[in-house]
């Protein structure tokens, strides 16, 4: 669904209240984050809140730079991470990686003092993997075939991500993505651990970080705030 501008503006105002001057923000990737940053930047400027941004992809680095954020390298921690999601379950676990930045996003999210995720209401479901949503798995190219075998043994159906003309998709880390279909997931944390322990897997797009705050954008221009501490 198209992102409701009124809801985005409202969420940006709410997020800005929790950003202190001089804060370092981790910036997730994707169209939702890009749109949110464009709404957030003028609010921060208006409140004289100069902040630093740690982007997780070249795409979001360009958007953040044009929006007036001071881009800095990742130095091991951030005050807050702002990100989107491909799917959100009833316990606020996430599927991420549709844009291919899951490894960098997980590194930055895992270092954040607070986690903020923004997603349109069509991304919400009872369990991860419902409605045909696949879970991205970032894999070293050498391990492409062996990882497929291992993922299949875990109950997955892996499919290598390709570009529109049929060439392999490579992440900014030089890895490939195996978009893997699993049955709806009852225990996301267990699946995250088992997939990540597969030899050759760099990261899996199941995110189970807590505490987390998720803003659910509604089509009528409003939003709902969801929080989970465990």
Q: What is the 3-state secondary structure (H, E, C) of 184-230?
A: CECCHHHHHHHHHCCCCEEEECEECCCCEEEEEECCCCCEEEEEECC
CATH 3.40.50.1360 boundaries in the chain: 5-124+208-228
User: What DSSP state is assigned to residue 70?
Assistant: E
* Domain range 5-124+208-228, CATH architecture: 3-Layer(aba) Sandwich (3.40)
Q: Which CATH class is domain 130-205?
A: alpha beta
Q: The tokens of 105 are what? A: 């996003």
Query: What are the residue ranges of CATH 3.30.70.260 in the chain?
Result: 130-205
What gap in Å lies between CA 91 and CA 74, rounded to an integer? Answer: 29
Output the pTM of the full model: 0.95
Give pLDDT tens digits along the chain (230 positions): 578 889 999 999 999 999 998 899 999 999 999 999 999 988 887 765 678 999 999 999 999 999 888 999 999 999 999 999 999 999 999 999 999 999 999 999 999 999 999 999 999 999 999 999 999 999 999 999 999 999 999 999 999 999 999 999 999 999 999 999 999 999 999 999 999 999 999 999 999 999 999 999 998 999 999 999 87
Asked whether 117 and 85 are in contact (CB, 8 A), the reply is: yes
Residues carrying an active site annotation: 105
- End-to-end Cα, the chain, rounded Å: 29
């Amino acid at each position: 669904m198209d992102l409701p501008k009124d809801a985005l503006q409202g969420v940006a105002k709410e997020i800005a209240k929790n950003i202190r001057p001089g804060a370092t923000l981790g910036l997730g990737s994707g169209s939702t984050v890009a749109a949110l940053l464009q709404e957030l930047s003028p609010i921060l400027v208006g409140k004289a809140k100069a902040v630093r941004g740690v982007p997780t992809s070249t795409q979001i680095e360009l958007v953040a730079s044009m929006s007036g954020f001071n881009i800095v390298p990742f130095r091991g921690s951030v005050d807050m991470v702002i990100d989107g999601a491909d799917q959100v379950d009833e316990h606020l676990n996430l599927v991420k990686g549709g844009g291919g930045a899951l490894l960098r996003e997980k590194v930055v999210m895992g270092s954040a003092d607070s986690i903020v995720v923004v997603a349109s209401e069509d991304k919400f479901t009872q369990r991860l993997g419902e409605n045909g949503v696949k879970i991205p798995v970032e894999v070293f190219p050498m391990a492409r075939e062996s990882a497929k075998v291992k993922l299949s043994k875990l109950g997955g159906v892996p499919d290598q991500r390709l570009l529109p003309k049929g060439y392999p998709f490579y992440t900014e880390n030089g890895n490939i993505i195996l978009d893997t279909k699993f049955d709806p997931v009852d225990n996301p944390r267990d699946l995250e651990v088992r997939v990540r322990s597969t030899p050759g897997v760099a990261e899996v797009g199941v995110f189970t970080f807590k505490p987390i705050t998720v803003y659910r954008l509604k089509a009528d221009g409003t939003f709902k705030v969801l929080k989970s501490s465990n």
